A and B are shown apart, each in its own frame.
Chain A
Amino acid sequence: MTAPDPQVPIPTSAAEDDAHGRAERAAIGRRRERFAALSFAVSVVAAIGLGVVYWRGGQPQLEGVFLALGFGGLGVGFIVWAKHFMPHEEVTEERHSLASTDEEMTLFREEFERGEQVLERRGLLLKAAGAALAALGAALIFPIRSLGPRPGKGLKSTPFRAGVRLVTEANEPIKPADLVTGGVLTVFPEDHTNAADASTVLIRPGTAVKPRPGRETWTPDGVVAYSKLCTHVGCPVGLYQAEEHLLLCPCHQSTFDVLDGARPVFGPAARSLPQLPLGIDADGYFVSLGDFSGPTGAGFWDRDR
């Protein structure tokens, strides 16, 4: 005879506990058992399905569905089994004090202190061992130094120098005519198209740029160049809004005014994008007249030094 289903109401009175009530409860129990068995069967079918799908070359959606049905069928079956066919009477377990008894603590303290006193008899050894451990521990930290080079001038300079040509990603130099009005290009120092700190946006805004003091000669032919690295946390400032002459960074929406030295006008960036001084060489290609007006990318402790 199957055990009483704890989720089926226990009869409250003799009148309820009659043959009809018992038969009803037994029927509910059988239905639930069949349901759980069906769940397991679904699991079996799903497992077979999974094997077939895999053998036939695999297909992500079918794999996911069969895995889900396989695990799900088992899971539902187990839970129905646990909810309806396992004992649910509440059991009480007593808690005992978590802390050790006073006696245990005293015993432990005495034994431990006995050992400690043995150590303390040899003060010289204790101090020397301590020194050795400390020294060795400190020395073992040194290999961390090999993880990376001393942060040096690299953070404050890029491969741009006076006379270095600007090139596209394909390492091809650029003439002013290559840039139409309202156009933008991502450029690099020649032969350094992999320089992650030197990516530059070259823009022909179509409207006159208001130069910062000292930068009056930096924009030949009405073309201006700024570092592409956002001064907030370094994402490439890839969005150029041609009508408003704004550079927008997609990461945190820092917005820079291209006509005003790439001054931040919205968002969390605190500094303007460094500007690259542009010139045109004898062959008519764009060159830089020097490095950027400041370190590119995000700020750091000694950026201004």
Chain B
Amino acid sequence: MARTKRDRLITRRIARWIDGRVGTAKFARSALGKVFPNHWSFLLGEIALYAFVVLVLTGTYLTFFFDASSREVVYQGVYTPLRGVTMSEAYRSAIDLSFEVRAGLVMRQIHHWAALLFIAAIVVHMMRIFFTGAFRRPREINWMVGVTLLILSIFNGFAGYSLLDDQLSGTGLRIAYSIALSIPIGGTWVASLLFGGEFPGADIIGRLYVIHILLIPAAIIGLLGAHLAILVRQKHTQFRGLGRTEDNVVGERVWPSFAFKSVGLMLLTTAVLSALGGLAQINPVWLYGPFRPAEVSSASQPDWFMGWLDGALRLFPGWEIRAFGFEVPAPFFPAVALAGLTFALLYLWPFIEARFTGDYEVHHLLDRPRDRPRRTAIGVGAFTFYAMLTLSASSDVTATTFGLSVNSVVWSLRILTLVAPFVSGVIAYRLCRELLQREAGTVVAYEPSGDSLIE
């Protein structure tokens, strides 16, 4: 093989050294040559991926300083409004991170903003997949992997902000305990095994720590790997267009264009998260105080991704089922049953839709949302429902901000949450049909010569 001067570069020599031992050239050639279609909505999943990378990096840094222990200590650090106050080691280490570890606060805040962004990105990515029908055969497995990733990320987010043992997250843990209690038959066991006894116990922080830094991240990394591997194996979907068929994928190669764009997006995502982490205060636990079981603050909300559950808890009336001395407490329905139903429907959606449309074919070409008015209407309606629930979690803050009665706000939201999904679904349906009708008889594609294809 003729050696050029370039081949003596250290990078080239290392590459050849590795290849001589494991034979990477063939794989690398195939990987770097892969074609990815170019559309902004195909980058949404990447936002989630890069937010996760930021989470792991900042999270690792935080683990070097955080102490997940419930042992009580008296604070004697720099922040005077808490001097002499009794608190757990966990809370104390969070205060130290925020006040005494250099760059500790910015790392903590970037980590928390990244968690909020991670789940938001998963949700918009999932909506893109839904509205373009990318979950259809052969991608049902990847859809289910994705839903699992959503569930895991929500759990991990909840576990993460509960670690700090502050008043706000401790209130949330109490609610989680009570929701576990509400499970029929075995609820008291679930709650006791989770918390190591009655609330609050001394075990929950330590257990959440292991779950948060090891168990769920490991599961997420594994599932992410599967998610990407399946995507690479099946190749990305694409929108209809010139030269695009069910048997090809048209776009640009990984090397160098797509790789640089992806790395660029990763860097920009990190940049946005860094800006948020330094400029926008999030979760100022030193103002909330350490957790005390008998205390609470108004304006107690969970982070946004738990909002739909909290909103459901606020709206659902006190309807319990009591019989033969047993009861199914009211919170079971808006918390456990709703969550179970939500995720079950999400998991099953590809199969439900296939059953209804009778379409079991392989699809690599995407629908535009307007191409499937019914699916789009259902998606818009469902999104409206969960958005209304999330909004409902802010009922008291909304009431005070706009000078309204919180009771009226709750009643209005109860009605709106049931009505708005249908209204928005119908509007979406009509809009799709309208757009389709307008297209019939107009230009949809162009030839290279500039002549148009009329459909």
Residue positions of A touching B, CB distance < 8 A: 54, 57-58, 60-65, 67-72, 74-79, 81-83, 86-88, 90-95, 98, 144-145, 147-151, 154-155, 169, 186, 188, 194, 196-197, 199, 228, 232-236, 238-239, 250-254, 264, 266-271, 297-305
Asked if residues A147 and B278 are in contact (CB atoms below 8 Å), the reply is no
Asked if residues A81 and B406 are in contact (CB atoms below 8 Å), the reply is no
Given contacts A268-B317, A304-B325, contact A234 B199 (CB under 8 A): yes
A88 and B177 alpha carbons, distance in the complex (Å): 55
A239 and B296 alpha carbons, distance in the complex (Å): 9
Asked if residues B260 and A81 are in contact (CB atoms below 8 Å), the reply is yes
A293 and B187 alpha carbons, distance in the complex (Å): 22
From B106, B334, B396, contact of A253 by CB (8 A)? B396
List chain A residues, Cβ under 8 A from B267.
Answer: 71-72, 74-75, 78
- In this complex, which of A88, A95, A270, A299 has the most chain B Cβ atoms within 10 angstroms of its Cβ? A299
CB distance from A20 to the nearest CB of B (A): 23
CB distance from B291 to the nearest CB of A (A): 10
A67-B275, A98-B138, A268-B331 known; 4 other A-B pairs, CB under 8 Å? A63-B278, A64-B275, A78-B264, A93-B249
Complex: chain A residue closest to B196, CB-CB? A148
A63 and B61 alpha carbons, distance in the complex (Å): 15
A304 and B329 alpha carbons, distance in the complex (Å): 11
CB distance from B162 to the nearest CB of A (A): 15
Asked if residues A69 and B252 are in contact (CB atoms below 8 Å), the reply is no
1/0 per position for B220-259, CB-CB distance to A under 8 A?
0000000000000111000000010011111111001100
CB of B435 within 8 Å of the partner chain: no
List chain A residues, Cβ under 8 A from B396.
Answer: 250, 253
CB distance from B64 to the nearest CB of A (A): 16
Given contacts A54-B102, A68-B275, A301-B185, contact A82 B314 (CB under 8 A): no
1/0 per position for B160-185, CB-CB distance to A under 8 A?
00000000000100110111011111
Which of B87-95, B297-305, B374-382 lies at the binding interface?
A: B297-305
Asked if residues A86 and B103 are in contact (CB atoms below 8 Å), the reply is no
From B248, B253, B300, contact of A94 by CB (8 A)? B248
From B234, B279, B296, B315, contact of A64 by CB (8 A)? B279
Asked if residues A154 and B297 are in contact (CB atoms below 8 Å), the reply is no
CB of B328 within 8 Å of the partner chain: yes
Interface size class of B (residues with CB under 8 A): 35 or more
List chain B residues, Cβ under 8 A from A67.
Answer: 106, 110, 270-271, 274-275, 277-278
Complex: chain A residue closest to B314, CB-CB? A252
Residue positions of B touching A, CB distance < 8 A: 33-35, 102-103, 105-106, 109-110, 138, 171, 174-175, 177-179, 181-189, 191-200, 203, 233-235, 243, 246-253, 256-257, 260-261, 263-268, 270-272, 274-279, 293-300, 310, 313-320, 322, 325-331, 334, 362, 364, 395-396, 406-407, 410
Asked if residues A268 and B314 are in contact (CB atoms below 8 Å), the reply is yes
A92 and B246 alpha carbons, distance in the complex (Å): 12
Given contacts A54-B102, A270-B330, contact A92 B250 (CB under 8 A): yes
Complex: chain A residue closest to B176, CB-CB? A233
From A151, A199, A250, contact of B297 by CB (8 A)? A250
From A65, A77, A169, A302, contact of B275 by CB (8 A)? A65
List chain B residues, Cβ under 8 A from A155.
Answer: 181, 188, 198
Asked if residues A228 and B279 are in contact (CB atoms below 8 Å), the reply is no
List chain A residues, Cβ under 8 A from B276.
Answer: 64
A303 and B329 alpha carbons, distance in the complex (Å): 10
Complex: chain B residue closest to A265, CB-CB? B407
CB distance from A147 to the nearest CB of B (A): 4
Asked if residues B274 and A64 are in contact (CB atoms below 8 Å), the reply is yes
List chain B residues, Cβ under 8 A from A90.
Answer: 243, 250-252
List chain A residues, Cβ under 8 A from B297.
Answer: 250
